[in-house]
Amino acid sequence: MKKNSGYSLLRDPRTNKGTAFTPEERKKYGLEGLLPAQVETLETQMLRINGQLNLIESPINKYSYLSNLLETNETLFFNLIMNDPAKFLPLVYTPTVGEACEKFGHISRRVKGLFISINQKDHIKEILRNWPVEDVRFTVVTDGGRILGLGDLGICGLGIPIGKLALYTGCAGVPPEFTLPIVLDVGTNNEKFLNDPLYPGLRHTRIVGKAYDDFIEAFVVAVNEVFPKICIQWEDFKGVDAIRILNKYRNKVCTFNDDIQGTAAIATAGFISISRLMGRPFAEQRFLFLGAGAAAFGIADMLIQKFQKDGLSRKEALEHIWMFDVKGLLVKSRNDLADYQLQFAHDSEPSDNFAEAILKIKPTAIVGVSTVGGAFDKQVIENMSAVNERPIIFPYSNPTSHSECTAEQAYTWSEGRAIFASGSPFAAVTYEGITFTPGQGNNVFIFPALGLAVFATEAKRVTDEMLITAAEAVAEQVSLQDFESGLIYPKVDNILKVSLNVAEKIAAHIFDNGLAGVEKPADILAFLKSKMYVPEYK
């Protein structure tokens, strides 16, 4: 095949400008004849893209169209996302990406990312070097173990790292050329996939135990050697694997887990925001969790650190956190608690009635991480309303069918007094003539901003303090007017601006704590802006 630079330029999504190549460029790169005569602006191209998108009805087909655009013309793709994030986030990421992952094996298309299987454990470095970019700074990596609420999707989970990295760029301007989605293939326990001739990954059940951990270790070593400035974001691993991997590597390399730390940070941001807007010190909050598993542990751990930052001792902080699991209140007299649960067990009477426990403990907030839809029943909300002027109701379980209550139930049963945020989205609710906009604890306010700060400062670690700083910065950006309509998080329409402000605070923390790999600039905001991706043709 003869070499032709123009043809390659058109086929590389990073260099492709399509009809926007100028006459001079067309001549210089051998593009004449490969394009129609009309030279178009980015704006004209956007008109065409929007027109085509409007003709497509189903979200999954819009997703496919957008994925194809990302693989064809990166500038156009990000221009679209960054101009209307509220519209495109649900198409590029949740909820649409879930369906896209399920169908991944059946949709034949080119995707951005690397597949590394456990059989390739001994030559991961060579595989990483097959990636055409030498200085990768950010990877989102999954083993497909627990994709959203959909369970084990094996390598079809790659859609999640792709979507998430698109949000790093689309929501905070992390340049896409520095990002790399990766899926680690250790097999799958998904029976449907194992029997599907179109499943493209290893066709055996998951490798677990030492062989699995050795593979993760080989990956971490290789990726840090090939890309020395990289930050690894672990994504959608099964809970036990997620906690073990994070604990093993968090103090060794630059890494974090968004399911654990990002979720905890956005929940904490919500509570900080409520405290600030109610004019009440955060240290006065008292939390009762329904569910004492991985999510509860992650959120509680961050709340404790926030309490400590605000002057409480760890012992005092623990007095503000109570938990209830499938067997009842976590109390010292129970002998069935896991190690990590012991710290949350109080010297108190046992209880197996959550609504009654509310009257006794008098929490300012209840947090649902039990996976039990409807567990915050009328009695629970009424009791919360009896002990609080403004009861804080956070049903965080996903998907919507698992939410401990709906927004409508919370507002109705509390007679319009509830402050509500959930894991899954709920539509606005009108109660007695007042319209409330339910908050959604969406990590998208945290991880892209964190990514920008880490990328620009070349941070060596991701610490919990950085995530608390992020939570505080998110909370600062909610106005009293928004709060009165029920909002405790900023609006997604402003995500780029919000992310930049959050990134500024995180970057300042990184510089001030000796975690940066570059000199502290005089003006951090200007420095960050200079590093941000702008979706324009160069």
**Nearest distance in Å: CB 384, ligand NAD:** 16
CA distance 489 to 267: 10
Draw the binding track, 388-417, toward ligand NAD (x: CB under 6 A; -: no contact): --------xxx---x---------------
CB 97 within 8 A of CB 89: no
Quick one: 76 or 369, whose CB is closer to ligand NAD?
Answer: 369
Quick one: 219 or 289, whose CB is closer to ligand NAD?
Answer: 289
Which residue number places its CB atom closest to ligand NAD? 293
H-helix or E-strand containing 267? Answer: helix 263-278
Catalytic residue among 17, 62, 112, 164, which?
164
- Reply yes or no on whether 7 is catalytic: no
Quick one: 301 or 458, whose CB is closer to ligand NAD?
Answer: 301
Is position 73 an interface residue for ligand NAD (rule: CB under 6 A)? no
Is position 293 an interface residue for ligand NAD (rule: CB under 6 A)? yes
**Which of 359, 355, 283, 285 shows the shortest CA–CA distance to 324?**
355
State the number of binding residues for ligand NAD (CB under 6 A).
Answer: 25
Is position 238 an interface residue for ligand NAD (rule: CB under 6 A)? no
Q: Are strands 328-329 and 321-325 parallel, antiparallel or unpaired?
A: antiparallel
Binding region for ligand NAD (CB under 6 A) out of 16-24, 229-237, 273-281, 363-371: 363-371
Structure tokens at 295: 């999510």
Is position 296 an interface residue for ligand NAD (rule: CB under 6 A)? yes
CA distance 504 to 496: 12
Whose tokens are 């020395």? That residue is: 228
**Nearest distance in Å: CB 239, ligand NAD:** 5
Q: Where would I find the H helices in 363-420?
A: 378-387, 407-413
Quick one: 149 or 200, whose CB is closer to ligand NAD?
Answer: 149
Quick one: 285 or 371, whose CB is closer to ligand NAD?
Answer: 371
- Reply yes or no on whether 164 is catalytic: yes
CA distance 270 to 466: 16
Is position 474 an interface residue for ligand NAD (rule: CB under 6 A)? no
Quick one: 80 or 274, whose CB is closer to ligand NAD?
Answer: 274
Is position 326 an interface residue for ligand NAD (rule: CB under 6 A)? yes
DSSP code string of 20-88 = G--HHHHHHTT-TTTS-S----HHHHHHHHHHHHHH--SHHHHHHHHHHHHHH-HHHHHHHHHH-HHHH
Is position 294 an interface residue for ligand NAD (rule: CB under 6 A)? yes
CB 213 within 8 A of CB 237: no
Q: Are strands 429-431 and 419-422 parallel, antiparallel or unpaired?
A: unpaired
Specify the DSSP class assigned to residue 182: E
Quick one: 397 or 406, whose CB is closer to ligand NAD?
Answer: 397
Is position 263 an interface residue for ligand NAD (rule: CB under 6 A)? yes
**Which of 166, 86, 81 shows the shortest CA–CA distance to 442?**
86
Structure tokens at 446: 């945290």
Draw the binding track, 432-471, toward ligand NAD (x: CB under 6 A; -: no contact): ---------x------------------------------
Is position 324 an interface residue for ligand NAD (rule: CB under 6 A)? yes
**What are the residue numbers of the active site?**
93, 164
Interaction site with ligand NAD (CB under 6 A): 149, 239, 259, 263, 290-296, 324-326, 369-372, 375, 396-398, 402, 423, 441
